[in-house]
Amino acid sequence: MPDWSRRHALQATGGALLTALAGCNGTDSASGSYPGENRTAVEDAVVLKVRNTTPTPMVVRERDSGDGEPTTEPAETTDAPPRHRGRIMAHVTDMDRDGLSPTFPADVAGADRFAAFFDETDFDTESIYLEQSPVPECYVRHLTGVYREPDGVEADFCRKVRPADVSCAADAYDMTAFAIRLPFAGDDFNSVGASHGSGCRRPRGDLIEPDQNHVVGPTDSGSSSDTNGGPSA
């Protein structure tokens, strides 16, 4: 197993997040601590949110497995049930490909948006909080806040059911990813967390949404599809 650099240890993909989400009715924190203590809201973050109308991850992480073949993270991307696939929660502080870094599959709708977003990021002075997880087709996820802690970053999300007149299947999943550009490098950070609320009726903070919410589908090559506030966002 390759030696993960400290900055790459900031990630928490797959299993760690699954544990935090299990049985989630109210709010859980994947960072293992209660949110709200010693944290300050990041006011000037830039957010990219893309919903892929298939459960296909738009971002994967590859690392050298030691035998010359790249290994995809999270490993359960293809084997796990749809609701567990493609989960990523990470604080990306550089794009060092010697370790574990995000890649953007060219054949997946929406991936190019993340590729461009990462390219536009100056990792000397900025970093990216990356969160990707499947969302039931009949639900929508919102980002309600992103916070800087003494040694890490944390984001708050909520989930709510889409309107009754939106056509969707109860057991189908889409994929939603958030990339949040933070105005600091975060080289000395060593934790990353997320809290997930089951309802958005009374968010703990203002909804933080990007100017444009993008929805992409299997036939979409990634061209802009602004549906901010629309039924599918």
Partner 1 sequence: MTDPRQHLSRRHALGTIATTVTAGLAGCNALSNDDSQEPNPPDYDPEAVGQIVRESFPAQPTVFPVQIPDSHFQAHASRTRDLLDSVPEEPNLPNGAIAKQIGRERAGLMERLGERGDEPTPRDRLGQWRYYRDHAAEVWGSYVAATGQYGPSEFRDRYQRLKSAYDAFESDWAYRGDDRPDALVVHATIEELFERGLDDVLSTGPFPSDPQAAVFEAGRMVREHEHAAANLEDARMFRDRFIDDQSAPSTNRLAFAATSRELRREARAEAHRGSYGPALEDGRSALDANLARGPAGTAFEHARNTARYADRAVERATERNDPATAILRATHQRHAMATFRDVVDAIRGDELTWPEDASELRELRSTTTQAIQTAWSTSPEPLAVELTTHAVGLLRELTHYHDEHELDEYDLARYVGTLNYARQYAQGVPERTSEVVHALRNE
For the chain, what is the largest distance between any 2 Cα atoms, rounded to a whole number of angstroms?
51
Give buried/exposed letters for 75-106 (b at 16+ CB in 10 A, else e): ebbeebeeebbbbbbbbbbbeeeebbbbbbbe
Cα 49 from chain centre: 9
- Please select the residue that binds partner 1; options are 71, 72, 105, 162, rule is CB under 8 A: 162
CB 145, min distance to partner 1, A: 22
Q: Which is nearer to partner 1, 72 or 160 (CB)?
A: 160
Give buried/exposed letters for 24-46 (b at 16+ CB in 10 A, else e): eeebbbbbebebeeebeebeebb
- Please select the residue that binds partner 1; options are 99, 134, 136, 222, rule is CB under 8 A: 136
> Among the candidate windows 9-17, 110-118, 133-141, 173-181, which touches partner 1 by CB under 8 A?
133-141
Q: Which is nearer to partner 1, 20 or 138 (CB)?
A: 138
- Please select the residue that binds partner 1; options are 69, 119, 201, 206, rule is CB under 8 A: 201
Q: How far is 36 from 147, CA to CA, in rounded Å? A: 9
Q: Which is nearer to partner 1, 41 or 161 (CB)?
A: 161
- Assess 169 for contact with partner 1 (CB under 8 A): yes
Q: Which residues pair with 88 in a beta bridge?
A: 132
- Residues forming the site for partner 1 (CB under 8 A): 136-139, 161-172, 201
